[in-house]
């Protein structure tokens, strides 16, 4: 059997003639110099495709069967060559399998730490459906981010104007005392609590800005934050305007009919918008109770920070943001600035909208199946996420150019200046 390895082209020609394949002797032996080793490594694909390309299908199948029988008779010889009966190099197969296993292990360790978004989807077989996978299209689409900024900009202006309107409509405290509230009735008033809540919000906002600065896909994150913030505050404008609730605390000095003419209302609107509606900025408002804007911002910051940072490497950051979120809500209630239902609805609506948005954005099958319904009920999502579908990985980078890059820019700029001077 091992003699086949010693076959010359003439021996292969004799083997072909014995099988009745005389017409292929010139092709295999004279033109392509197929000896015993080359013969054992041939496959049906080799015979079917160029350069051999056996033209007659019946001859191709017969020669393939005869070649398979020869390989079965020379199994030991094939093993010495490291070739299987199908003509596949076993050494190459082992290397590919080992490389693939190493790649899967790296995906398991690296992706689970850096992407943190259902990484098991990357390890599923290709023939199985994968609805939650890493996005293949991560174009920043800065123009959409700019549009989302203008959207939230005008929504905040509208919210500030509605806050002025509802302040004029606030019920008289002498006729309409605070409503019964399970928490407020059992929690003493803490004067400094609302300022503490706003300090908590500032700390979380700084964390979010730092995260945005280093995140590779910062423009996608900003677009999503602006879109969600604008949508929630637009909903808040309607809920504030529809029903006016009585003041939640007797410590609040609220009186309606303060902004009679339109110019005064617009001036007050700009003051509220400029101060972000914060007490620390000297903004005091009444009547804007259903639902809490401070809770909305705290919850959005918390959910965005935890969603777009590593769940393993930044575990303590996640824990801190959740603690700050809950403490901020507690401070709002301790300050008696909102009813408990205001805070509860703000947290519930914001968190549900965040999860709804990201469930659709992270699952392509859901996005495609609900495309028509989404365009009707959530048109901003359909517009902003039209090309960015799939999980956005948590990848970080240094956003500023390196010194070498900056130096190249300076040199190019100097060359352009010299060319302009010469002309």
Q: Is 312 a catalytic residue?
A: no
Q: What whole-number distance in Å separates Cα of residue 347 and Cα of residue 333?
A: 13
Among the listed residues 194, 341, 338, the one whose alpha carbon sits nearest the alpha carbon of residue 278:
194
The rounded distance, in Å, linking the Cα atoms of 399 and 401 is: 7
Check 167, 215, 294, 358 and give the catalytic one. 294
Rounded CA-CA distance 28/53 in Å is 11
Query: Which single residue is written with the structure tokens 């060359």?
Result: 415
The Cα 332–Cα 59 span in angstroms is 86
Q: How far apart are the C-alpha atoms of 372 and 377, rounded to whole Å?
A: 9
Q: Where do we find the tokens 């041939």?
A: 42
- The b/e string for 100-127 (b: 16+ C-beta within 10 A; e otherwise) is eeeeeeeeeeebbebbbbbbebbeeeee
Residue 320 to residue 309: CA distance in whole angstroms? 13
Nearest one of 137, 135, 140, 132 to 222, comparing CA atoms = 140
- For 110-138, the DSSP string reads IIHHHT-S-GGGGGS-TTS--SS-B-S--
Q: List CB contacts of 376: < 8 A, sequence separation 6 or more.
A: none
Is 181 a catalytic site residue? no
| 342 carries an active-site annotation | yes
The residue among 39, 46, 47, 42 whose CA lies nearest residue 6 is 39
Distance CA 171, CA 177 (A): 9
Catalytic site residue from 215, 336, 338, 358: 338
Q: Does residue 51 have a cis peptide bond before it, meaning omega lies within 30 degrees of 0?
A: yes
Q: Are 273 and 156 in contact (CB under 8 A)?
A: yes
Q: List active site positions.
A: 294, 338, 342
């Amino acid at each position: 059997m091992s003699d086949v390895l010693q076959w010359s082209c003439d021996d292969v020609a004799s083997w072909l003639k014995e099988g009745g394949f005389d017409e292929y002797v010139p092709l295999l032996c004279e033109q392509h110099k197929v000896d015993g080793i080359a013969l054992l490594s041939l496959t049906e694909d080799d015979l079917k495709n160029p350069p051999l390309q056996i033209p007659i299908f019946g001859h191709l199948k017969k020669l393939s069967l005869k070649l398979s029988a020869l390989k079965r008779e020379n199994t030991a010889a094939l093993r010495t060559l490291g070739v299987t009966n199908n003509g596949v190099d076993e050494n190459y197969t082992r290397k590919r399998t080992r490389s693939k296993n190493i790649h899967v292990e790296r995906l398991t360790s690296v992706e689970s730490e850096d992407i943190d978004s259902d990484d098991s989807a990357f390890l599923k077989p290709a023939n199985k459906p994968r609805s939650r996978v890493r996005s293949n299209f991560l174009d920043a689409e800065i123009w959409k981010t700019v549009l989302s900024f203008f959207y939230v900009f005008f929504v905040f202006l509208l919210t500030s104007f509605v806050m002025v309107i509802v302040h004029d409509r606030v019920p008289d405290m002498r006729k309409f005392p605070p409503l019964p509230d399970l928490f407020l009735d059992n929690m003493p008033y803490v004067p400094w609590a609302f300022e503490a809540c706003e300090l908590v919000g500032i700390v979380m906002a700084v964390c979010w800005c730092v995260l945005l600065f280093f995140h590779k896909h910062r423009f996608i994150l900003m677009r999503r934050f602006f879109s969600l913030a604008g949508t929630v505050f637009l909903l808040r404008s309607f809920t504030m305007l529809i029903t006016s609730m009585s003041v939640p605390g007797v410590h609040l000095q609220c009186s309606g009919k303060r902004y009679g003419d339109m110019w005064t209302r617009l001036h007050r609107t700009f003051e509220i918008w400029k101060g972000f509606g914060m007490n620390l900025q000297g903004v005091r408002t009444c009547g804007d109770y259903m639902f809490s804007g401070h809770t909305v911002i705290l919850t959005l910051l918390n959910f965005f920070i935890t969603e777009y940072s590593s769940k393993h490497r930044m575990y303590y950051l996640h824990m801190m943001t959740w603690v700050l979120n809950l403490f901020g809500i507690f401070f709002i209630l301790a300050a008696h600035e909102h009813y408990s239902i205001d805070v509860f609805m703000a947290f519930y609506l914001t968190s549900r909208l965040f999860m709804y948005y990201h469930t659709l954005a992270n699952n392509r099958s859901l996005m495609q199946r609900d495309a028509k319904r989404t365009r009707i009920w959530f048109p901003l999502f359909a517009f902003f996420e039209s090309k960015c579908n799939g999980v956005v990985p948590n990848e970080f980078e240094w956003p500023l150019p390196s010194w070498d890059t900056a130096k190249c820019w300076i040199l190019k700029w100097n060359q352009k200046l010299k060319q302009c001077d010469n002309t």
